Amino acid sequence: MRPNLRHLQVFRETARLRSVSAAARSAHVSQPAVTQAITSLEKFFGVPLLVRRSTGVSLTQAGEACLHRVERSFAQLRDALAEATR
């Protein structure tokens, strides 16, 4: 399955909260939905984005790079939408 904006939002929230369960609550989705979104991104990019531990998750180097690009992309999208409504 090709990743979509929702997958990227869930990834960003998981990275921010460092927890799959907290990201699920924040995004109003199930834990399996978060896991599926992250797995979809990892398969698409061909690299692990998270290190999963019993205490939460941390970003891999590839995950850090991906998060940086996702944050930048969402900021550009926010700016474009703001500009379009002026």
CATH for 40: 1.10.10.10
Chain segment 46-83, per-residue pLDDT in tens: 999 999 999 999 999 999 999 999 999 999 999 999 99
Q: How confident is the model at residue 2 (pLDDT cuts 50, 70, 90)?
A: confident
Q: Say how far residue 13 (Cα) sits from the centre of its chain.
A: 6
User: Above 80 in pLDDT, residue 25?
Assistant: yes
**How many other CB atoms are found less than 10 A from the CB of residue 11?**
25
Residue 37: per-residue pLDDT: 97
Residues 6+ apart with CB under 8 A from 17: 23, 26
Residue 86: per-residue pLDDT: 85
CA distances (Å), origin 78, targets 13, 28, 72, 73, 81: 17, 21, 10, 9, 5
Q: Where are the alpha helices (DSSP H) in the chain?
A: 5-17, 20-27, 31-45, 61-84
Separation between Cα atoms, residue 37 and residue 33, nearest integer Å: 6
Domain count, the chain: 1
- Note down the domain range covering 73: 5-84
